[in-house]
Amino acid sequence: MTDDRPEQHSQTERAIEQVLQAEKDAEQAIHDCEQEALQMLHQAQIRAQHISLRTDQRITNLEMRHGHKLDQTIRAIERQGDDQLRLDAGQHFDEEGLQAVVEALAMELCQKRSTPEA
């Protein structure tokens, strides 16, 4: 009968070393994955900030363009209003008709004052 114990002991030690090495390799792989995930998260945050900045810039540009168009539209409306006022002021009015309206209004006011209040 031969003594296989040293050989078995050696195989057991190798198996334990392999398990320990596999454990170390797994821990290193987990660490590497965590680092890669952190790096990906950081890159995603940077991209999100760039998107936010571009969006803000686009909104600002749109507001400026629309504000400019609105100012132009307001100025055009004001010019049209000024033109209309000039046209209205320049039109001939019926002096006799205006006099009749003034007299009718004066008569109505005088009648209200002369009637006793109830």
Q: What is the pLDDT of residues 79-111, one digit of tens each?
A: 888 878 777 766 777 788 889 999 999 988 888
Give 43's pLDDT tier (boundaries 50, 70, 90): very high
- Segment 40-46 shows an average pLDDT of 98
Please compute the mean of the pLDDT values over residues 52-57 and round it to a whole number. Answer: 97
**Angle, CA of 85, 91 and 98, to the nearest 5°:** 105
Q: What is the pLDDT of residue 1?
A: 47
Structure tokens at 98: 């205006």
User: Cα–Cα–Cα angle for 67, 72, 78, nearest 5°?
Assistant: 125
What total of structural domains would you count in the chain?
Answer: 1
Residue 2 scores a pLDDT above 60? no
Q: In one letter, which amino acid is 19?
A: V
User: pTM score, two decimals?
Assistant: 0.48
Name the residue range of residue 101's domain: 5-114
